[in-house]
Amino acid sequence: MNAMSLIRIVFVSAIFLLLVLMGVHNREPVDFNLPPLITKVVEQPAALMYFAFFAVVLITGAVLSLGRRESSKSR
């Protein structure tokens, strides 16, 4: 395991820790509005929204990372 892998593991673990802390301390419902895509107001616990936003960002990062790896292998 090289140093970069260790740094990535520590960083992702810290982000997961923040996600857990937000979930524990933010249980009240909040409103989510996104008029172009969702026509009605979505009311969910804040922790669930934090988790959903984190999942979207994680998937986006994975897709972008896969594209970068393919282009570097072809060189």
pLDDT digits (tens, 9 = 90+) for 15-28: 888 878 877 887 88
Per the structure block, which two tokens stand in for 48?
């669930």
Residues linked to residue 45 through DSSP beta bridges, in sequence order: 29
- Structural domain including 52 reads 3-73
55: pLDDT strictly greater than 70: yes
Model confidence pLDDT, tens digit, residues 34-45: 888 888 998 988
69: pLDDT strictly greater than 80: no
Tell me the average pLDDT across 40-66.
84
Total domains, the chain: 1
Helix (H) / strand (E) containing 50: helix 46-73
User: CA 41 to CA 49: how far, in whole Å?
Assistant: 13
pLDDT at 74: 56
Q: What are phi and psi of 74, to 5 degrees?
A: -75, -15
73: pLDDT strictly greater than 80: no
